[in-house]
Structure 1
Amino acid sequence: MKVLVVGDVVGNPGRKTLYAYLEKMRDKYDFIVVNGENAAGGFGITTKIADEFFDKKIDVITSGNHIWDKKEIYTYLEGSDRILRPINYPKGTTPGKGYTIVESKRGVKVGVISAQGRVFMPPIDCPFERISEVIDEIRKQCKIIIVDFHAEATSEKIALGKYLDGKISLLYGTHTHVQTADEKIFLEGTGYISDVGMTGSDSGIIGMSAEVVIPKFITALPQRFEVAEGNERFNGLSVVIDEETGECESIERINLSLKQIEIL
């Protein structure tokens, strides 16, 4: 199975770039997972954008700490099994859920888990424990399991990847918006990368306008962030997974400008 993973989509520039890539390359993939927590103006996702993603044949939307930023999404989370909030929010937290099982376009079941880190992040439940609670049940239903780990610290991401090695097909990091060059396959067959990167404008600072972000660092005063525009890039992963064993066979970074996408 060939899987496309797309890093944090930031605002309208990110959506435009994502749609341009999918228009050219969608049919080459059996399953598509996109992190959409920054898709609406850089903070959160709206019901309209979620519907747009699914209209573009995206199979699952994962998220992170910004999933709660648009209140309208709360009801949507309850009604859909294809958009996830992190699994390790405290037990009893509603709305939504942290994992799902969805069939690919060829009818193969794929498990997807959305989790959030705790190092330099808001204090929530342990992702190691919460994933451990559901992983055996998911493995009974499907061989292929993908984890989006929305976390700040590289060490925490590597630790969770090694902890789950041989139990899942792929663990990839999101949240930092900077693509890392450490893609690999662990000893027991789990694909890994510390961060997929960001799909959006590369003219600013991790998707936001430099004219706003730089003064915040200099003055330490609050600023109203604005999404950057121009010089858009697409960051993602192309991953091949064995459907019989669930092991990752290959993992390749994608880092393309919008202009490069246009000539594919």
Structure 2
Amino acid sequence: MVVLAVGDVVGSGGCGFLREHLPALKKLYGVDVTIVNGENSADGNGITPGSAQHIFTSGADVITTGNHVYRRRELHDMLEENPFLLRPANYPARDPGHGWCVVDTGRVQVCVVNLMGTVFLDSLDNPFYAADAILKEIERTVGKAVILVDFHAEATSEKRALGFYLDGRVSAVYGTHTHVQTADEEILSKQTGYITDIGMTGPVRSILGVEPHLVLERYLTKMPVRFANAGAPYQLSGVIFDIDHFTQKTNFVKRVQIK
């Protein structure tokens, strides 16, 4: 089976580019399940019910998020009501939403797990122990399943560490958050697919989606600056995992990027 994971969608421009290109991309690779990180999909940061619905109707089966998931309070009810709109599982249990879900494709169950790193980010529960607990729960409630982990984290070392920690225990681990696609896609020794960061779906001529002159002003003056998303041209970045649904192991990993 084929799983497509799409990198952090930025603003309405990124949402529009996703809708324009995602259907053809899914058809080209025969995609069975599509996962999109949407935590920056609202203009001005965060994710709203409107931007989440736009991503779903553009072809996503699951939306993952990260450190901006709770920035818009109007999303909280949707996080509770929609099991396929995820927030990082290692946030406090009392917080709105769910950290993992199950997509039933008919022939195989696909579990999507959303975790967040703690290096240079919020001090949340240890993502390694959180992964252990979720895998036990999946084994107890779902049984055999293809399992993919979106690890929303800053540090390359933490992302690679989780990849090795989960090697052979999940089908694939991929990173989000830094908005820059890395060229280290591989299959680890126990056939878990891995890539440090799948990149961004948003404005090409930007600094992580933001107008460059605004970021430069912040660096040069150290003064508060209100960021705004850059405009066209746009790109879509992501990764394809081809997974054997009998063994739940990854056969190959392929980066994708459309500009």
Q: Return the TM-score normalized by structure 2.
A: 0.95
In the alignment, residue 204 of structure 1 is paired with which amino acid? S
Decide whether the 8 Å contact of 1:33 with 1:61 is kept in 2: yes
Decide whether the 8 Å contact of 1:200 with 1:234 is kept in 2: yes
Q: Which residue of 2 aligns with 1:248?
A: 250
Q: Which residue of 1 aligns with 2:22?
A: 22
Q: Which residue of 1 aligns with 2:88?
A: 86
Q: Which residue of 1 aligns with 2:222?
A: 220
Decide whether the 8 Å contact of 1:10 with 1:42 is kept in 2: no
- 1:182 Cα deviation after fit: 0.3
Structure 1 runs (4+) deviating above 3 angstroms are none
Deviates more, 1:79-88 or 1:36-45: 36-45
Q: Residues 152-206 of structure 1, C-alpha deviation per residue, up to 9 Å, x if partnerless?
A: 0000000001000001001000000000000000011100000000010011111
Q: Which residue of 2 aligns with 1:4?
A: 4
Q: Residues 81-108 of structure 1, C-alpha deviation per residue, up to 9 Å, x if partnerless?
A: 1010000112x3221011111113x552
Q: Give distance in 2, aligned partners of 1:189 and 1:247.
A: 5
SS in structure 1 at match of 2:3: strand
Q: Give distance in 1, aligned partners of 2:130 and 2:107.
A: 28
Q: Which residue of 1 aligns with 2:64?
A: 62
- 1:26 Cα deviation after fit: 2.7
Pick from 240, 243, 246: which aligns with 1:238?
A: 240
- 1:69 Cα deviation after fit: 1.0
Deviates more, 1:151-160 or 1:41-50: 41-50
Q: Is residue 121 of structure 1 aligned with residue 133 of structure 2?
A: no
Q: Residues 42-89 of structure 1, C-alpha deviation per residue, up to 9 Å, x if partnerless?
A: 511111221222222311000000001111100000001101000011
SS in structure 1 at match of 2:149: strand
- Counterparts of 1:85-164 in structure 2, within 5 Å, are 85-90=87-92, 92-104=93-105, 106-140=106-140, 141=142, 142-164=144-166
Q: Which residue of 2 aligns with 1:261?
A: none
Q: Which residue of 1 aligns with 2:54?
A: 52
CA RMSD after TM alignment? 1.2
Decide whether the 8 Å contact of 2:18 with 2:58 is kept in 1: no
Q: Return the TM-score normalized by structure 1.
A: 0.93
Gapped regions of structure 1 (runs ≥ 5): 258-264
